[in-house]
Structure 1
Amino acid sequence: MIDPKNLETWLHEKAGPAHDALKAYPARAVSADRVRYTLDELLAQCDPSAELTAQEREWLDAPAVGREVLTPFDPAEHLTNAEAVAALLADAEATGDPAYIEHAHQVAARARVMHGIK
């Protein structure tokens, strides 16, 4: 069960700012049909010899603003029932990627132990 205090903190520190950023720059959003692109597919669309735009250069050269905190993410924490575990494994199998399938099985095993899933 989620602790309401942690949920409120997450809403204020993560979800709220993400919503505000998306509202301010809606072009940054990724549609559902583009979420599953592989890195190879994305790189195939790029021209590595292309000059950076002024906006891209400005973004790359910008100093850190102090809010770039990355926190570890363990997907096993969110796989709280057998259906969620099965969905992860089915998704992994559908990719046909042996490395991803192996990783998904490791995550599923951690989730089963973590949440007492049979």
Structure 2
Amino acid sequence: MTGSKNLENWLHEKVGPAYDALKADPARAVTPDQVRYTLAELLAEAEAAGVYPLPPEQREWVDAPAVGRELTPFDPAETLTSAEAISTFLAEAEATADPAYIEHAQAVAARAKAMHGIE
């Protein structure tokens, strides 16, 4: 099945009925604050409802303090440690012909040069 056919089926079978139900009863809508849960909040709510009790070893893992950069965003500038790597990165960005991505790549490259002292 093609991607467009999958999308069409999803729209017909899932999105359409959900839209119709929301239109019929707008009180069903949730606010952005209602969907902004942390993992801890979701797990606590599920455990309290008896839906998802965690085994002790998983509970220990969830409750453990962070040990590094588990949840920090990836910065490609940190991995561009040579002029050759930066050049390749910029060439691949140019190949996309996407002006916004090219501009982003140029900013990443400039940050990498400054970060690693590359001329």
For the aligned pair, the TM-score class normalised by the smaller chain equals: 0.3 to 0.5
| TM-score after normalising by structure 2 | 0.46
